[in-house]
Amino acid sequence: MTLFEKIASRQIPADIVYEDDLVIAFRDVGPQAPTHVLVVPKRAIPRIGEAAPSDHAVLGHLLIKAAEVARKLGIDQTGYRLVINNGPDGGESVPHLHVHLLGGRRMDWPPG
């Protein structure tokens, strides 16, 4: 089981802000912004580079729900950033695909 599968199955505690049959969203343990949530497909895909055409629907759902969580947490009007890290240079540390939802402060560009 991946770390995030353990969170989804309640083997590891997390501050869960949204859940449905396909995805779960919970606050990042090391927040990089006042609001920092991870939106995760329950069925593990290691990283976006390994997603298959059959993952089309769940990937669309993931982004729709990330925007919905942003609205729910009240950062949709001020703005937010969605990030997917892929592989070593991308900064990936957990090999279970997830979207970072970051908001509550002004983001820099280009990212570090």
Q: Mask 46-85, x = binds ligand DGP (CB under 6 A)?
A: ---------------------------------------x
Q: Cβ 76 to ligand DGP, closest distance in Å?
A: 21
**98 in catalytic set:** yes
3-state secondary structure string across 30-98: CCCCCEEEEEEECCCCCCHHHCCHHHHHHHHHHHHHHHHHHHHCCCCCCCEEEECCCHHHHCCCCCCCC
The residue among 35 and 92 lying less far from ligand DGP, judged by its C-beta, is 92
Site residues (CB under 6 A) for ligand DGP, limited to 33-52: 38
Contacts of the segment 75-81: beta carbons below 8 A, 24+ positions apart? 75/35, 75/103, 75/104, 78/103, 78/104, 79/103, 79/107, 80/35, 81/107
Residue with smaller CB distance to ligand DGP, 8 or 70: 8
> Is residue 91 a contact residue for ligand DGP (CB under 6 A)?
yes
Quick one: 27 or 72, whose CB is closer to ligand DGP?
27
The residues annotated with a catalytic role in the active site are 98
